[in-house]
Structures are given as structure tokens and as C-alpha cells.
């Protein structure tokens, strides 16, 4: 496999992952960003820990989706992440009603 073929494959995988994200993001309540991964989850618990003078974060998520194009199963029931860098958790805005874009009221 040439470098060009590998780059094309990775680009196609990334695009496929983005499309999957776009299709499922509305099913989740939180976006969680760690130093290594990006997650969507419906429940998040972040605990600051102190071990041997080092501060780290323990992040537990349930009903989650992992942004990782090399992972065969991106939906996971429970996730536990330990990280020494900051954790960013954002609550997603949930509109009360979403009308289909291709319907009579779509814009």
C-alpha cells in the first residue's frame, strides 16, 4: 500500500466517522474531551484525584460513543478514563422539537 493509498483510506475513514457523529450526536447529552479522545455520553462523572502528589482526573461515562476511527465498536455502555490533563465537559443543547429538513416545514 502506497503512502497516497494510506492517506486516502484515512481520509475516507475520518469522513465516515464524521458522518456517524453527525447522525448520532442528538442522542447524547454531553460532549467530553480528554487529552486523547472525544466522547459523547448521556451520563458523566468527573472526580479530581490526588495520588502520590500527582493530581489526575477520573472520568466515568455511561451510554457513550467514542470518536476513534480505528475502534470497531464505538458505542460503549461504560467508560472509565484516567487523565493527567484537563477534561472538558459540555452539555449539549437539546431542542424541544426538531422538524425534518425535507418535510413541509423544513427550511
Within a domain: residue 101? no
Would you say residue 41 has pLDDT above 70?
yes
Give the pLDDT score at 83: 93
Within a domain: residue 107? no
Going along 1-107, which residue ranges are E strands? Answer: 30-33, 38-51, 54-66, 75-83, 88-91
Give the pLDDT score at 66: 96
Give the pLDDT score at 71: 85
Q: What percent of the chain has pLDDT over 70?
A: 90
Within a domain: residue 102? no
Per 3-state DSSP, what percentage of the chain is helix, strand, and coil (rounded to 5)?
Answer: 25, 40, 35
Q: Is 43 helix (H, G, I), strand (E, B) or coil?
A: strand
Count structural domains, the chain. Answer: 1
Within a domain: residue 71? yes
| 29: containing domain | 3-91
Kindly report, residue by residue over 49-96, the tens digit of the pLDDT.
998 889 999 999 999 999 998 888 899 999 999 999 889 999 998 766
- Residue position matching grid coordinates 465516515: 16
Within a domain: residue 98? no
Within a domain: residue 46? yes
Would you say residue 10 has pLDDT above 80?
yes
Which is higher by pLDDT, 10 or 32?
A: 32
Per-residue cell: 50: 490526588
| 27 vs 41: CA distance, rounded Å | 9
pTM for the model = 0.77
Within a domain: residue 85? yes
Amino acid at each position: 500500500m502506497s503512502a497516497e493509498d494510506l492517506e486516502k483510506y484515512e481520509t475516507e475513514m475520518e469522513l465516515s466517522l464524521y458522518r456517524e457523529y453527525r447522525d448520532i450526536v442528538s442522542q447524547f447529552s454531553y460532549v467530553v474531551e480528554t487529552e486523547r479522545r472525544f466522547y459523547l455520553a448521556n451520563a458523566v462523572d468527573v472526580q479530581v484525584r490526588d495520588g502520590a502528589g500527582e493530581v489526575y482526573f477520573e472520568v466515568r461515562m455511561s451510554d457513550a460513543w467514542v470518536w476513534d476511527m480505528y475502534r470497531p465498536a464505538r458505542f460503549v455502555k461504560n467508560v472509565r478514563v484516567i487523565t493527567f490533563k484537563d477534561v472538558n465537559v459540555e452539555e449539549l443543547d437539546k431542542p424541544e422539537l426538531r422538524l425534518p429538513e425535507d418535510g413541509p416545514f423544513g427550511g
